[in-house]
Structure 1
């Protein structure tokens, strides 16, 4: 009974961090991880170990900013930084998030078509978009949070898939703990892609804003050390969960597809189709179901983060806890982002192109935002006693340096080489 009681208490604590971590492994991210595994086998497994502490440190800073200031990241930027910085983030974030949504909707539609070939992928994309829009608008925040939290369980399928295929555990262990680097364009680009899809700017905005929602629901008037500690547990658990999903997707494609000589994967549906004859129908179905589950988690987070950015910028009513008539602008932005994302395939932007454009825009904004987040988190006038610890700063600055190098490499490879 004690174990059950502890689990219930822990399950009650976790929420925003778990949802954020799960949304990080969206269909676009799964496509990137699948590309890495197929192209280089187990050689990129170590990136999951590298990414975890960096992700956790940055997301904890964002969460703390939300808890202490009772504002989202955009509101804090607006209050303490020059307006051009805010507007620059808006200009880069809007197209990046919309294209990310578009790539995710297209991936979900394509995978739906794989499971039910008689129904066209376009119909699935439209149906998923309508369902998501209806749920986001009509369900109160706590219901949405609860649904998303339980949807995260769908992602456990990725912990099963690799073991439906014979594995070399010694090789896996070595690839996990001993980093491998190839000094060529293809390998470096996939490393940059993994970092870019893992440490994504939209998650920064979402984490801060959703912590504010949580505080409103708890009716907590002031932040305290207990709330901070619970937030850290939540974020650490969410980022750990995200890291494991990333790890097992690379492991699946890095053993099954790479070993079979399938080294070129562009989309999630290609990965699922390639798995079927090699690892069996169960692996194929589980992989496909996982893609749809992650899309259902990630798209509300993507559209919600964009809406928080806009509404905080212009001072509009906001919040998933509000009804449509109380925050029309907030929900209209969500609707527009979903409709624009759905329409990308009809205007000639393929999911692959959308992923590339998104990676470039995220790559440009991520280092800037990480620098600003570090500055805010160390500012006692804003954060009071809840400024960064030494370890948070070490990890934060490591993330800043690594993401700056990744952004430089991405821009060089895309535009100058």
Structure 2
């Protein structure tokens, strides 16, 4: 309603109350906070997810085929164990402001740092060879191409990603790839597990002296903690992430929260891997020696879609962890020799760092083409990681 005053219409305030504040600003603020939270926990989520490399995939498939659902609770037990290690690594990187290799060098000297360097380097290289080979085989399962022809292109593509992309861009790509791990969840559902038995086995631990059960439990726990996972966490938090995300009580709290989320994500995906194998191959008590063999064996039992999804999950696990292995190798060698390093550095100013990165891939491709079996490399990676991990943790 209006009243004419001086020939001009005037709104009566009582009849026309002010319009409510627009929701755009509120929604934008919430969106920014959500993006900020996801960005802050991204390093831990990526570090945790990288723990589910093809070595873990093969282990979970073999254990599920041999023991069925009996060790489902062990897969979930990985969450608190990995969470503790990742929280410590996040604290070290955030508070000390450096990666583990640099901090060891400053605190304990070059000799102790050299021991850490060699232990991580050996684990990284053997795991790099095994995972590169597994990734190529995964592509081969989907395309029908001999995996030997795919090893070098896969390695070159990943080197190109690290040479061209900056740290934020590389991590951004890897974060999106993490969604591919959900392929294991879909494969597990398509396998039609016995959900009641699975729930009991997941929530109520049952101990057994059976050799397969004991060995499978130790294998699941042994592959959960590898040195490159927590080393990469300290690199991200202490070296690459912006100071506003790491410094202060809020930044430290977010780092701890992200470490927990990453550990839970890793354990849940590992659980789905085991379920997919247990629900199919476990019924047949069919021996499985690798993730690739598990994907092939799923086809006649659970159908081609479940098999293809498992192969896709295998590819995602390899492609996600390979850049981390390559980059962390360059970081720790660069830290030991005080080179300029970082994925955000141009190649011309960090030649040593990128040379180590490229050389590690070249060596991995050469070893992979030497016709060493995939399972041999995966087992070797697990054993060496088991010996090398305590050095970094101590």
* Structure 1 pair 168–127 and aligned structure 2 pair: CA distance change class (3 A): same
Distance 2:30 2:66 in 1: 43
Q: Which of 252, 256, 259 is the aligned partner of 1:228? A: 252
Partner of 2:278: 254
Q: Does the Cα contact within 8 Å between 2:54 and 2:317 map onto a contact in 1?
A: yes
Superposed, 1:244-393 pairs within 5 Å as: 244-262=268-286, 264-370=287-393, 372=394
Distance 2:357 2:93 in 1: 21
Partner of 1:54: 81
Distance 1:157 1:221 in 2: 31
Q: Deviation at 1:165?
A: 2.7
* Structure 1 pair 3–290 and aligned structure 2 pair: CA distance change class (3 A): farther
Q: Alignment RMSD, CA only? A: 1.9
* Aligned: 1:37 with 2:60: no
Distance 2:111 2:371 in 1: 32
Partner of 2:39: 12
Q: Deviation at 1:84?
A: 3.2
Q: Deviation at 1:185?
A: 4.3
Q: Deviation at 1:147?
A: 0.3
Superposed, 1:84-99 pairs within 5 Å as: 84-99=111-126
Distance 1:51 1:359 in 2: 16
Q: Deviation at 1:198?
A: 1.0
Q: Deviation at 1:212?
A: 2.4
Q: Does the Cα contact within 8 Å between 1:39 and 1:258 map onto a contact in 2?
A: yes
Q: Does the Cα contact within 8 Å between 2:246 and 2:255 map onto a contact in 1?
A: no
Calculate the TM-score normalised by the size of structure 2: 0.88
Distance 2:370 2:218 in 1: 28
Partner of 1:111: 138
* Aligned: 1:187 with 2:187: no
Q: Determine which structure has more spread, i.e. the larger CA radius of gyration.
A: 2
* Bigger helix share: 1
Distance 1:282 1:325 in 2: 46
Q: Deviation at 1:351?
A: 2.1
Q: Deviation at 1:82?
A: 4.5
Partner of 1:121: 147
Distance 2:329 2:97 in 1: 18
* Structure 1 pair 108–210 and aligned structure 2 pair: CA distance change class (3 A): same
List per-residue Cα deviations over 1:148-182 (Å, max 9, x = no partner).
01010111111211111322222111111222333
Partner of 1:397: none
Distance 1:7 1:257 in 2: 41
SS in 1 for 2:158: helix
Partner of 2:106: 79
* Aligned positions, number: 367
Mind listing any 5+ residue stretches in structure 1 that lack a counterpart?
373-417
Distance 2:363 2:387 in 1: 22
Q: Which of 140, 152, 159 is the aligned partner of 1:133? A: 159
* Structure 1 pair 135–82 and aligned structure 2 pair: CA distance change class (3 A): same
Distance 1:236 1:105 in 2: 28
Q: Which of 164, 176, 192 is the aligned partner of 1:166? A: 192
Calculate the TM-score normalised by the size of structure 1: 0.83
Distance 1:115 1:69 in 2: 45
